[in-house]
Amino acid sequence: MAALLLVSLGAIILTANAQMDLVFDDRLAVATALMETHPLAGFNPVHHSGPASPYFRAPSQAGLSYDTPEGCVVDQAAYFVRHGTAANQQRVVDTATYFVRGYLSQGNYINNTNLNRGTVITLPDSAVNTTFADSVTPSSSCPAYGPPSQLGSTNSNLWRSTFQNRTAARLNTFLDGLVLNATDIGVMQDLCGFEFSINGDTTWCKVFEPEEWRDYEYAADLNYYWGSGPGNPLSATNGWPWVKAISDLFVVGPGKTVANGTLTPPPLIVAMTHDNNMPPVLAALGLWNSTTTFPGETETNYPLPVTRRITDPTRFFHSTYLVSFLGHIALERMTCTIDGTTLQQRQQQGIVHKANIFGGTFNITNSKAFQGTNHTFVRVRVNDAPFPFPVCDSGPGSSCPLENFTSLVNGQMKEVCGDFVERCGLQGVKGATSVMSFLTTAGDGESQLIGVEGTPKGPASPDSP
């Protein structure tokens, strides 16, 4: 479908309490207000429309606060984003270009577009035998990924065959002359999310009942879970190269120049890609792959069953919370002051002065202790909702210490995800690489990210794993 594009944004000035947080259009409030006035009150179909859903902040399934933990500052972030519309190549590039101008041009983009402080890198889409892992659509050049991904449509269609005829039969009771069948239902339900995304109108959505929306959404869940998510054994293999590249950039940190190189990683890195490229990154990170069950049940929820809908509230995998329009996975690098004073302690010490209250004085003797020490952590958010990494959550807000994150990425995660060239069956193919290097090399292909543990300095040799 569309082009891939990676936007690497230049300098963002962060103040001490600024949170690096892209704010996407959130029409949740509008939607909720509309829904309250019609028979679906309390149930919002556009929050159950899978890839046809407009962007909204996903519920905090893991129970973590959305806020940056106290004492922490997000100093670098990487977003992997589903592009907002069903676009052709030029539209994706245009979106990225306008985003950079609008977000980073200090409000003067109309008069002077050269003032923007970001860089747009455009990558080829569906690049068979050209880019391999060095892409934000790697699965297009991974031959082994295709066959298991077919289970996405097979399983979702199998599930659809269990409910769509029932929906058609119900609607037919209201019709005179026109007879709907199962084939009509899918596109009719797709219209709800699309129309809402285009003009905010939900009139059509009222045709269907909440259970019909849940069945429709579950078909999308099965499609992404089996096609490009944890249900496809090649998904994590395809998601890992991005995670690895970002992990390396986080080790260097924003605005720092790498040892013996000239690369200075930017504070914000945004990749704009397609819905089907999101679940592989989620799979590589090991998220939404739990084996939770109903209390007292021995059967596991995973893999997602095809012939019955899982209603267990602890099921994490919801396509709507990942591949909605502008759905995204964000990795945040946070610098946190540990063992420093809390706001309350600082107030008691008189370090923080409140208006019209005569405060105390700062005890210089204790100042070192008040400051604490800085440590760096990594946090992941999916459509804004933070999640703990399954095996590393000892940091503030259940984040993972950066050293542990890099060990995880280069160790256990790499082990589970496997090598791209080897698992995709690309041994011996000319130019095949397992490394995403476009973020860390200059245009001439000379590697500039030197001295980061585990980073190969060039493309993997064709026949080495």
Ligand X SMILES: *[C@@H]1O[C@H](CO)[C@@H](O)[C@H](O)[C@H]1NC(C)=O
Residue 91 vs 166, nearer CB to ligand X: 166
Residue 73 vs 133, nearer CB to ligand X: 73
* CB 356, min distance to ligand X, A: 23
Distance in angstroms (rounded) separating the CA atoms of residues 391 and 120: 35
Distance in angstroms (rounded) separating the CA atoms of residues 80 and 117: 20
Distance in angstroms (rounded) separating the CA atoms of residues 120 and 106: 17
Residue 202 vs 437, nearer CB to ligand X: 437
Looking only at the bridges linking them, the beta strands covering 373-382 and 328-338 are antiparallel
* CB 57, min distance to ligand X, A: 26
* CB 147, min distance to ligand X, A: 16
Residue 102 vs 451, nearer CB to ligand X: 451
Residue 86 vs 179, nearer CB to ligand X: 179
Residue 71 vs 193, nearer CB to ligand X: 71
Enumerate binding residues for ligand X (CB under 6 A): 16, 73, 107-108, 111, 128-129, 161, 165-166, 169, 181-183, 230, 236, 259-260, 283, 286, 289, 291, 335, 337, 363, 365-366, 371, 374, 392, 394, 401, 403-404, 416, 429, 450-451
Residue 150 vs 257, nearer CB to ligand X: 257
Residue 325 vs 405, nearer CB to ligand X: 405
Only one residue has tokens 């005569």, namely: 358
The residue sitting closest to ligand X, measured at its beta carbon, is 451
* CB 432, min distance to ligand X, A: 9
* CB 123, min distance to ligand X, A: 18
Residue 46 vs 426, nearer CB to ligand X: 426
Residue 213 vs 225, nearer CB to ligand X: 225
* CB 261, min distance to ligand X, A: 8
Distance in angstroms (rounded) separating the CA atoms of residues 253 and 74: 11
* CB 462, min distance to ligand X, A: 10
Q: What is the 3-state secondary structure (H, E, C) of the chain?
A: CCCEEEEEECCCCCCCCCCCCCCCCCCHHHHHHHHCCCCCCCCCHHHCCHHHCCCCCCCCCCCCCCCCCCCEEEEEEEEEEECCCCCCHHHHHHHHHHHHHHHHCCCCCCCCHHHCCEEEEEECCCCCCCCCCCCCCHHHHCHHHHHHHHHHHHHHHHHHHHHHHHHHHHHHCCCCCCCCCHHHHHHHHHHHHHHHHHHCCCCHHHHCCHHHHHHHHHHHHHHHHHHCCCCCCCHHHHHHHHHHHHHHHHHHCCCCCCCCCCCCCCCEEEEEECHHHHHHHHHHCCCCCCCCCCCCCCCCCCCCCCCCCCCCCCCCCCCHHHHCCCCEEEEEEEEEEECCCCHHHHHHHCCCCCCCCCCCCCCHHHHHHHHCEEEEEEEEEECCEEECECCECCCHHHCEEHHHHHHHHHCHHHHHHCCHHHHHCCCCCCCCCCCCCCCCECCCCCECCCCCCCCCCCCCCCCCC
CA-closest candidate to residue 5, choices 245, 272, 210: 272
* CB 289, min distance to ligand X, A: 4
* CB 416, min distance to ligand X, A: 5
* CB 17, min distance to ligand X, A: 9
* CB 330, min distance to ligand X, A: 19
Residue 32 vs 335, nearer CB to ligand X: 335
